[in-house]
Amino acid sequence: LHNVFKSDFLFKFLVIGNAGTGKSCLLHQFIEKKFKDDSNHTIGVEFGSKIINVGGKYVKLQIWDTAGQERFRSVTRSYYRGAAGALLVYDITSRETYNALTNWLTDARMLASQNIVIILCGNKKDLDADREVTFLEASRFAQENELMFLETSALTGENVEEAFVQCARKILNKIESGELDPERMGSGIQYGDAALRQLRSPRRTQAPNAQECGC
Amino acid sequence: MLCHSSPGISLSEPKGDLGYIFELKSSHQESGPWEGRVLEKREKVPSCIHGCLEGRAQICWLEEVPLEVLRQRESKWLDMLNNRDKWMAKKHKKIRLRCQKGIPPSLRGRAWQYLSGGKVKLQQNPGKFDELDMSPGDPKWLDVIERDLHRQFPFHEMFVSRGGHGQQDLFRVLKAYTLYRPEEGYCQAQAPIAAVLLMHMPAEQAFWCLVQICEKYLPGYYSEKLEAIQLDGEILFSLLQKVSPVAHKHLSRQKIDPLLYMTEWFMCAFARTLPWSSVLRVWDMFFCEGVKIIFRVGLVLLKHALGSPEKLKACQGQYETIERLRSLSPKIMQEAFLVQEVVELPVTERQIEREHLIQLRRWQETRGELQSCSPPRLHGAKAILEAEPGPRPTLQPSPSIRLPLDAPLPGSKGKPKPSKQIQKEQKEQQKQAKGYLDKPPTPNQTKMASAAGDACPPQDVAPKDPVHQDPAPQDSAPQDSAHHHSRESLTSQESEDTYL
């Protein structure tokens, strides 16, 4: 069905965070709308893509899902270049994964771009009984570091789509306000096949809740 | 034919090489919310001879080998396994050929141990695995390992249940490795390797095979900075230029870093990429001939996925190309086709070593010295045997005076001089070697090792950590020791023990 639509934009997204936080499951849930209970851990990098409708615009997300283990970082860091958005994932039942966020954040801002739009995802929301990181604490961290924030569950699907869509919407807003220039090299944004016409003259009429993703 | 629909063959071959019986775990040890569901699936579903659960497998094809041929092969392999030294010394070509034809499933586990030298390691280190197994382990690693246990071959009956035998053994093997090489620890890509081994042998044997893979076949692949895999990515790409200029041009035009497609291929030795029966055939050859096979498989896949202008039409962008390489056509991965292509592809150890030197120099020019020191890699069973001769009976009387490893012999200034008898024997061995080795495996390694200098401590000789200490070979084979050491000090010790 996706191929029927022509996209207006193409955004490169990253999914980063410690091993075992559910990065690949988030991606799988987003694309297939299913929980993958027999997934392998990622070695190197995995990919996924999906076209979503954000405020009337079709945006193709090209998502790079990276291996979480520390020693893969030397390899995966080379994938960061040119990413427009990122999901920074930790596991709400593991403080260790939360403590690692600062490192991931530094990497993303340094290697992708200063303007990269990042949404913090506290995954495994369904395992509330084993929670080690409170919502409040994480949202403070998000605020201090200018991140958007959601708690997600790749198992139930809660907030998964929202995470990707919110991140994409923020990027679109930045483009419309002129804060982001898609034509700048390494912005992680490309015009889609639906071509440049509407975008040459940015319309500021975007209604935030118009049509949420229809795919 | 599809594997699970071949009852005739599954009757003729034992399930699992050791005839393991996998009991169905009942619902105790409920460790995850999905336990029940998985078990339910498992109870209903028959599995193929490899243990893949129906409908959940990588496509599981089985090439039909007539029963008689299989029996013949089995008896040939039994003869080889029982007369290791004779075969390894004189008939290596034949062994290679038999590995290319595929090791009979019932003997695969034993054959892998034999080829990799894991068996010798086990004999040299009796009780070592148990000792590691009893130790508690570093919580830092245990946590990561535990997160990965249920993520290995979840379609395989051995690993399907949480806390089941397969997962327990996997934990033991991986934990033991982190204790055996604490400075290396655990790399996530080791888990699929260990899992494949465990499908073919018990935990202790699997552990020693894993050690051989990590230290002899693919040294540095799982180490901290993953430099070895990055180097091999460059080597692969460079070799591709000759194998398929079209694919090479396309990939370089689109600026696709080899790491984007080859990391998982190489680090897991294709265990997570190919259909299962192809994995086994590739591993049969890999254990015999070494990393060359991994390069060849990678090159064959690239060549057939991207090697013609028609194929490239659908791969206009970087992303499309990567997609193509991640969802390869089953046709090019099919057992018979792939093995044939791999056997015929003229990429030799020497080419790989030459390219290694070039890429290493390039790396040093652009990024400085390598940060981690890996031992030189050994190209297959023969090279491993030569570097680490196992305990074996010798016809010579054992020497009456035995010298410690580093002691100089009277009259020599530095290295011990071999006795005439040993020199003679050595010549003979070299003569034999010329006959069946396509390329002598060490000269490049020696060069590289000396180029890299002595900065890196030789692990096996002077281990930093007591856990490292393998009992020296002479413990188990006293009559062999003098011969072994003096010969090594002349020929292979430098290249063996000096890390890059």
A19/B144 touch (CB, cutoff 8 Å), yes or no: yes
Residue B403: Cβ-neighbour burial (10 angstroms; 0-12, 13-18, 19+): middle
pLDDT of residue B59: 45
Q: What is the pLDDT of residue B51?
A: 63
pLDDT digits (tens, 9 = 90+) for B164-196: 889 999 999 999 999 999 999 999 999 999 999
- Where residue B127 falls (left for φ over 0; alpha for ψ -120 to 50; beta otherwise) is left
CB–CB contact B147 A74 (8 Å): no
Give the pLDDT of residue B45. Answer: 43
Compute the average pLDDT of residues B352-361: 95
Going through B94-192 in order, the beta strands assigned E by DSSP cover none
**Taking a C-beta distance cutoff of 8 angstroms, is the pair B291, B218 a contact?**
yes
Cβ-Cβ contacts under 8 Å, A44 against chain B = 259-260, 263-264, 267
* pLDDT at site B397: 52
* The two structure tokens encoding residue B500: 């890059």
pLDDT for position A48:
92
pLDDT at position B436 is 39
Q: Which residue in B147, B257, B326 is closest to A19 by CB distance?
A: B147
**How confident is the model over B292-315, as a mean pLDDT?**
94
Which residues have CB under 8 Å from B105's CB, separation 6+? B13, B14, B17, B49, B280
Residue B335 confidence (pLDDT): 94
Structure tokens that stand for B237 in this block: 């790409």
When mean pLDDT is compared across B66-80, B96-110, B259-273, B376-390, the lowest value belongs to B376-390
Strand-pair category, A148-151 with A57-66 = unpaired
Query: If you measure CA to CA, which chain B residue comes closest to A24?
Result: B151
A75 vs B33, B263, B326: nearest CB: B263
Q: What is the pLDDT of residue A39?
A: 77
B473 or B71: which leads in pLDDT: B71
Cβ pair B230:A41 closer than 8 A: no
Q: What one-letter code names the amino acid at B23?
A: E
Whether B151 sits inside 8 A of A40 (CB atoms) is yes
Residue A99 clears pLDDT 90, i.e. is over it: yes
pLDDT in tens, B224-276: 889 999 999 999 999 999 999 999 999 999 999 999 999 999 999 999 999 99
Per-residue pLDDT tens over the stretch B390-416: 665 445 555 555 555 555 554 444 444
Q: Note the pTM of the prediction, 2 decimals.
A: 0.75
**Residue A74 pLDDT grade (very low, low, confident, very high; cuts 50, 70, 90):** confident
Cα(B488)–Cα(B500) distance, rounded to whole angstroms? 19
Q: Do A44 and B267 touch (CB under 8 A)?
A: yes
CA atoms within 13 A on the CB side of B391: 18
Per-residue pLDDT at A211:
42
Tell if the CB–CB gap between A78 and B257 is shorter than 8 Å.
yes
Query: Which residues of chain A does B195 touch, with a Cβ-Cβ cutoff of 8 Å?
Result: none
In our burial notation (b when 16+ CB lie closer than 10 A, e otherwise), range B236-265 reads bbbbbeebbeebbebbeebebbbbbbbbbb
Q: What is the percentage of chain B residues whose pLDDT exceeds 90?
A: 49
- The β-bridge partners of B2 are B61
Q: What is the mean pLDDT of chain B?
A: 75
| Residue bearing the bigger pLDDT, A42 or B47 | A42
**Within 13 Å of residue B101, how many CA atoms lie on the same side as its CB?**
15
Residue B434 has pLDDT above 60, yes or no: no
Average confidence (pLDDT) over B458-474: 41
Q: Which residues of B touch A37 (CB under 8 A)?
A: 34, 37-38, 154
Tell me the two tokens of residue B350.
């020497």
Cα distance between residue B445 and residue B281, in whole Å: 28
- Give pLDDT, residue B247: 96
Residues of A with Cβ-Cβ distance to B257 under 8 angstroms = 78
Chain A: closest CA distance from residue B282 (Å): 20
ipTM of the complex: 0.84
Which one of A10, A46, A74 makes the best mutation probe of the B interface by having the most chain B beta carbons within 10 Å?
A74
Asked if pLDDT for residue A16 goes beyond 60, the answer is: yes
Least reliable range by pLDDT among A37-51, A175-189, B96-110: A175-189
* Kind of pairing between the strands at A45-54 and A57-66: antiparallel
Encode B367-399: b = buried (16+ Cβ within 10 Å), e = exposed. eeebebbbbbbbbbbbbbbbbbbbbeeeeeeee
Greatest Cα-to-Cα distance within chain B, rounded to the nearest angstrom: 75
**Residue B36: is its pLDDT beyond 90?**
no
CA diameter of chain A: 51
B340 pLDDT higher than 50: yes
The three-state (H, E, C) secondary structure of A103-162, written as one string:
HHHHHHHHHCCCCCEEEEEEECCCCHHHCCCCHHHHHHHHHHCCCEEEECCCCCCCCHHH
User: What distance in Å separates the CA atoms of residue B457 and residue B374, rounded to the nearest whole number?
Assistant: 10
* B292 and B351 Cβ atoms separated by less than 8 Å: no
pLDDT at A93 over 80: yes
| Chain A residue with Cα closest to B150 | A38
- What angle do helix axes B259-267 and B291-306 make, rounded to 10 degrees? 140
Q: Residue B368: its pLDDT value, please?
A: 87
Write the CB contacts of A120 (distance below 8 Å, at least 6 apart in sequence): A88, A90, A101, A138, A141, A142, A147, A148, A149, A150
Would you say B263 and A45 are in contact if contact means Cβ atoms under 8 Å apart?
yes
What pLDDT is recorded for position B407? Answer: 52
Separation of alpha carbons B30 and B28, rounded Å: 5
Closest of B279, B284, B199, B271 to residue B17, by C-alpha: B199
Please give, rounded to a whole number of angstroms, the shortest distance from the CA of B462 to a CA of chain A. 26
To the nearest 10 degrees (0 to 180), the angle between helices B92-101 and B108-116 is 140
Interior CA angle at A122 toward A120 and A128, to 5°? Answer: 165
CB-closest option in A44, A96, A155 to B264: A44
Distance CA A160, CA A32 (A): 11
By C-alpha distance, the chain A residue nearest B263 is A44
Between A and B, how many residue pairs show a Cβ–Cβ distance under 8 A?
73
